[in-house]
Amino acid sequence: MAADEHADVGDVEHVAARIDSDWAVPILVGLWSASLGADQLELARYRPAVKRALVALRTSNHGDPGRSVSALVGLVTACANDHSDYLASVLPEFETADTENSGELISVGEGLQLAPDANRLAASPSMARLARLANGADPARLLPDTTHLRNVPQGPRYAELWRGLYLRLAAVIWLQRFDFRTAVPNAIIFLPKQFYTQFHLVPEFSTRSGKSTSLVFGSADIGLLLDSAAVDGKPGSNDMQLTAYPLHPVSGGYVTSLALLYDSVAPWAQLWLHRMDLWKVAVSDPFEAEVISRFESCGFIAGSVSESGHWSLGAIDLRPNSSGTVLEISQSLANAGRSPGEIDVLAWNDAEGLLMLCECKSINATHNLQTAATKLSATDAAGWRKKLIKKKEWIEAACGRPVDFTFIALEGISYYMSSEDQDPMILDRERLQHLLADIFTPDGTLRIQEGA
């Protein structure tokens, strides 16, 4: 699907207007679904272009639509070129001939923060639990084995999240029962407009009040929670956001696949958490706790530091009989006055006498790529680093000793830079894990002593 000439947005709209969307949408959805296969890495490269083509077909004014394969190939090619131009415009600092300073920005489904929770729900879907959550039950009690969803507050205000998850998993179960083609997860399936009336998975259940309740869905719910028409047509917004809506409308119904339904669970949850301003409590705070736990597993004493200088160390005893250095650092921070901002992780290694400072950044890749890229651009990353350096200087002035290593821990997007990367470094989750586990033993001593 290569093209000798670049096509602009106008070309995309012009080509899309000449194509019968009822004919083309199932083909494009089939390509998208097939690209999710583990052995389809080459096809996966065209996934953003396929998504753009779907949006173009929906938003174009169709005059005299036809069913030309060459026109459809031309549309996908134009969308691929359009996507390439878009990447170049929003990620200029990631494209350089200087291999010593080049970088790569990657976002994949399994790298999404909510992917582990989504996998747990899909592995053993409890529709009764999701139905109860949609009716106001406590997520912490019903989903204790999840990392993020258990942090969603209780109450009817959050019903839309659970209704959306319920619908996705209910559709999977329903299709597995009645459609022989679902033996192939990537196979395209047609759903009639009123398919949701067949959901009788949780007809009723008893609540504590002794009453019975059930989930009821209508066409408006499908449009709001599942229909890809809910996604706007702005450049960049039709990637992860489109992934969150797995039903693609055609005359008389929708086309989808089991793979698309499964793949929509984590993006839907992430979009919804952001919309409801729950990103910090459900995603960012657990990531900070994870980083602290990683330090502790390598023999560090670690915790956050408030703007007032309180070093939160959980169960660590800071009475005078505790480690002298830990107590000294804690008291020095408390007496230093207001800090330049909350410090996510300050970690002390008693065995080696090392002090480390870490800022945690949890990027929501379900926003458009430009938003995500801005967070990692030279300008914004410098802002991250500038703020962290101010915190480092405040700690060093308060404690009268240097901070030995300062870095930014990143999740949600894989961000690789060369060895020439600036200080403080930006480390994704995998690199952070290797940094700590490969260098320190569980008791905090260095695995390889200097000069050994």
The overall pTM is greater than 0.85: no
**What's the Rg (C-alpha) of the chain?**
25
Residue 411 near residue 429 (C-beta atoms within 8 A): yes
Q: What integer is the mean pLDDT of 210-235?
A: 72
Residue 433 scores a pLDDT above 60: yes
Q: How confident is the model at residue 421 (pLDDT cuts 50, 70, 90)?
A: low
- Output the pLDDT for position 452: 41
Residue 288 scores a pLDDT above 90: yes
Instruction: Name which of 348, 349, 346 is nearest 357 in CA terms.
Output: 346
Residue 166 near residue 233 (C-beta atoms within 8 A): no
- Output the pLDDT for position 419: 45
What is the spatial distance between Cα 210 and Cα 213, in angstroms, rounded to a whole number?
Answer: 10
pLDDT in tens, 77-105: 999 888 888 777 766 555 444 444 344 44
Q: Phi/psi of residue 322, each to 5°?
A: -80, 180
- Output the pLDDT for position 4: 39
| Strand residue runs (E) in 162-316 | 189-192, 205-206, 212-213, 248-250, 253-256, 301-305
What is the spatial distance between Cα 59 and Cα 54, in angstroms, rounded to a whole number?
Answer: 9
Higher pLDDT, 117 or 37: 117
Q: What integer is the mean pLDDT of 204-225?
A: 66
Residue 201 scores a pLDDT above 70: no
pLDDT in tens, 3-37: 434 434 458 888 898 899 999 999 999 999 998 88
For residue 352, the Cα-to-chain-centroid distance in whole angstroms is 36
- Output the pLDDT for position 202: 47
Higher pLDDT, 421 or 304: 304
Q: How confident is the model at residue 260 (pLDDT cuts 50, 70, 90)?
A: very high
Q: Phi/psi of residue 28, each to 5°?
A: -65, -40
User: CA 200 → CA 5, 30, 182, 195, distances in Å?
Assistant: 52, 28, 19, 11
Strands 205-206 and 212-213: antiparallel
